Structure 1
Amino acid sequence: MNAGLWLYLTVLSVFVVFAIFSNALVIYCVVRFKKLRSVTNALICNLAVSDILLAGFVMPQRLHDITHVEDFFEGDVLCKMVNFTPVLIITTSIYTLVCVSFERKRAIQETHKQQMTFAALYKIVPSLWLFGLLISLPTLLEYRVNHILVDEGNSTRIGLSCDSSHMEFSYSMTNAIFLVTVAYIVPVIIMFKNYIEVANFVWKKSKQIQAATRAGKVHYQLFQHRIKVVKLLVVVATIFALSWLPFFITLLYAKITNNDSSADASGFLNLFLLAMATFSTAYNVILYIVYNPSFNKAIKQVFHIRSGVSPELNNMATVQGTRSEPMPENSRVDEGQGKGVHIAHKNSGEDC
């Protein structure tokens, strides 16, 4: 194995360790600090769990395959799991982001409706994983260890490969198109449709809110805080979509060319996909630190970094199962004060 490949493995191994640690840190901060205990952040924790599973259980086997391309001796069970698990995790992750987009849309644009609560999450989160399981079952059936002919220059030998060569071409292609459509194209469209609608709503309402009285200004501050959270989530969703786009394109290409064997693990295309997958598990905490002051303060407090962390991290009021900032009793904007602008507070969950 050449020096370049060793460097690649070393860098990716560092990213894998960082991904596990950083996502565990996100979960710890949400559990530890009351201000971070919101519906949005609970869904972000579900995303962090997905990243930990991908980085901790799938990526090590993938990195191992790079250095052992000759034969796949790990057996059918592991062969199925290393192909099934990424589909399960990606599907669960992207539909978690879809749920976040619906939750943010309701909290900002549809404040008159019942907001998503923690009680609802007890049903939503298991449903996300069950849905991901159902979507990825065809992949579980598709892969196994097969015997292949390995060219060794002057001779050939029979080797072991984890692939889907035993399946009918129609099955593999149908499953690939199904995954690309259901686990990527559809959720990405839904997610960005929600955020575009929120952006359009904000554009129309922001000037009206700015024109409100003092009570309206309190609502405007809350409104601005939510917009910052939406900006963060749009960045997270965009990077997620871009980082996994090559995976789905390559999935289709591999099925069309019948080139999904574990014997190709050290090829350039596979190395690129592994790098993108590893990156997708590691960037979230950096975005939270950069874009979210509450996460920034919480993480600094965890590591005892002085940053003027206020006691408010542990002193937030609970409203309908979500966290919400305290508001004055007279903070509603009525017809006379706010030119018809009304952003209800009591039904909206606290943001990150």
Structure 2
Amino acid sequence: MQLELMERIKPEAATQAWFENSSLISTFEPSVSSDLELVYTIVPPYIFTLSLLGLLFNGFVLAVFAAHKDRLTVAEIYLSNLALADFSLLCGLPFWGMNILNKMAWSYGDVLCKLVNSVIVINFYTSIYTLVMISIDRYLALVKTMKARWLRQTVYAKMMCVIVWLLGLLLSIPSIIHRKVKFNEESETTYCVLDYAHESSWKLSHQILMNLLGFVLPVLVIVFSSWNIIKALAQRTESTTVHDTNDSKATTLVYMVTLLFLLCWGPFQVFTFLDILCDIKTLDERSWSHTLDVGGQVSVYLGFLNSTLNPLLYVFSGQYFRRKVSSIYRRARHQRRESDMTTYQRSVVSTYFNRTEQIKPVVIFNPKDQM
């Protein structure tokens, strides 16, 4: 998700600049320079570590799904789409880390300014709506088992993944349009900022869309699906002594992934909502300024943690995923053994022929031949 923590430093300060820490939208004015120094010291190592681990973990998940010979199930298509979204987000984070390390001085040009930050926004929407599709798939599988079987086809799942990415791209357009590289004359530094200029309605609209389409609506769908799934599983348990543990485990994994997303991105949505209240004058902006500054930054970096932790859930909670890893490992060992046997056989044959060639004819001396 593209969190944008834009920091406008007051014109009177010597280090005046627009400061941004993320690409969703949250505007704040840091009031204490020590807060900035803390950000410059702690955040870059955190981002670099997060990026490295997340790229490794999500790359491993994508490699497992790609290497397994069996066709992916609908749920696995959605999970691989989620891993791809997380991977793309983490590819852009190192630019942020370097940007903060350089005290918010952007040196990568206007194109990367728009691209890196829009990728984060696209990832946010893609992640949450992929979770919505996973939740709906579980609902169809466990509640509408017979009626909606035709909907649970891999071709439809792939189509929905494409639609989710297009939706994320569409909702990131405000960020793409308003994200700019600007030169601050007083600090003589170039910054990558969200510049709404005098069109403050754009900022408010973007925040409202983020809250409603990026959180409230998806959560309502997920809660509706989850509630009906819980009821359906409870009824099955009461009506029969045999219940499908595979369905229960798969559903538990979905719940854990969804819960992790809400825990990581929920705080950011809360601070975004508070910022909206400040913009419409429901809350006093001066009183909430420092809280939004600190809370906005912390919640953004907490949200990024979600992209790194998701693969760990697949490994530790996804039994089917572990089976895939085990199957790939066994197949690799089998192929290695066959390769070793072939190499050994070739070596034996080669040694036999080499030794045969080295055998020279021996002539036995016969004294009669001298007579």
In structure 2, the partner of 1:90 is 124
Q: Matched residues in 2 for 1:252 and 1:29: separation?
A: 39
Deviations 1:64-87 (A, max 9, x none): 121122533333322222332211
- Which of 227, 231, 234 is residue 252 of structure 2 equivalent to? 231
In structure 1, the partner of 2:269 is 248
2:240 partner SS: helix
In structure 1, the partner of 2:342 is none
Contact 1:96–1:128 at 8 Å: present in 2 too?
yes
2:235 partner SS: helix
In structure 1, the partner of 2:165 is 129
Which amino acid is 1:197 matched to?
Answer: N
Q: Matched residues in 2 for 1:127 and 1:176: separation?
A: 22
Which amino acid is 1:109 matched to?
Answer: V
CA 1:167–1:26 in 2, change beyond 3 Å: closer, same or farther?
farther
CA 1:179–1:23 in 2, change beyond 3 Å: closer, same or farther?
same
- Which of 63, 67, 86 is residue 28 of structure 1 equivalent to? 63
Q: Matched residues in 2 for 1:118 and 1:101: separation?
A: 15
In structure 1, the partner of 2:229 is 198
Which amino acid is 2:218 matched to?
Answer: P
- Which of 47, 54, 77 is residue 89 of structure 2 equivalent to? 54
Query: Which blocks of at least 5 consecutive residues in structure 1 are unaligned?
Result: 150-155, 211-216, 260-266, 305-352
Correspondence 1:280-299 to 2 at 5 A: 280-299=306-325
Q: Shift of the alpha carbon at 1:142?
A: 2.2
In structure 2, the partner of 1:119 is 155
| 1:140 lines up with 2:161 in the alignment | no
1:42 partner SS: helix
Contact 1:172–1:255 at 8 Å: present in 2 too?
no
Contact 2:175–2:194 at 8 Å: present in 1 too?
no
| 1:106 lines up with 2:140 in the alignment | yes
CA 1:42–1:170 in 2, change beyond 3 Å: closer, same or farther?
same
Which amino acid is 1:69 matched to?
Answer: K
In structure 1, the partner of 2:72 is 37
Q: TM-score, normalised by structure 1?
A: 0.71
CA 1:142–1:182 in 2, change beyond 3 Å: closer, same or farther?
same
CA 1:4–1:147 in 2, change beyond 3 Å: closer, same or farther?
closer
In structure 2, the partner of 1:160 is 190
Query: Which blocks of at least 5 consecutive residues in structure 2 are unaligned?
Result: 1-35, 280-284, 286-292, 331-371
Correspondence 1:242-321 to 2 at 5 A: 242-252=263-273, 268-269=294-295, 271-300=297-326
2:312 partner SS: helix
Contact 1:81–1:140 at 8 Å: present in 2 too?
yes
Q: Shift of the alpha carbon at 1:104?
A: 0.8
RMSD: 3.0
Q: Matched residues in 1 for 2:276 and 2:108: separation?
A: 23
Contact 1:146–1:165 at 8 Å: present in 2 too?
no
Deviations 1:40-83 (A, max 9, x none): 011100000000000112x1111112112253333332222233
Contact 2:314–2:321 at 8 Å: present in 1 too?
yes
Which amino acid is 1:204 matched to?
Answer: Q
Deviations 1:202-239 (A, max 9, x none): 112211121xxxxxx4xx2xx22101111111110011
Q: Matched residues in 1 for 2:297 and 2:234: separation?
A: 42
CA 1:185–1:194 in 2, change beyond 3 Å: closer, same or farther?
same
Which amino acid is 1:246 matched to?
Answer: P
Asked which structure has the greater CA Rg, the reply is 2
Which amino acid is 2:154 matched to?
Answer: F
Deviations 1:226-283 (A, max 9, x none): 0111111111001112211233334455677799xxxxxxx75565245313311111
In structure 1, the partner of 2:8 is none
CA 1:160–1:82 in 2, change beyond 3 Å: closer, same or farther?
same
Contact 2:250–2:318 at 8 Å: present in 1 too?
yes
1:73 partner SS: coil
Q: TM-score, normalised by structure 2?
A: 0.68
Q: Shift of the alpha carbon at 1:171?
A: 1.6
In structure 1, the partner of 2:219 is 188
Which amino acid is 2:257 matched to?
Answer: V
Range 201-210 or range 159-168, more displaced:
159-168
Which amino acid is 1:171 matched to?
Answer: W
Q: Matched residues in 1 for 2:222 and 2:253: separation?
A: 14
Q: Matched residues in 1 for 2:173 and 2:215: separation?
A: 16
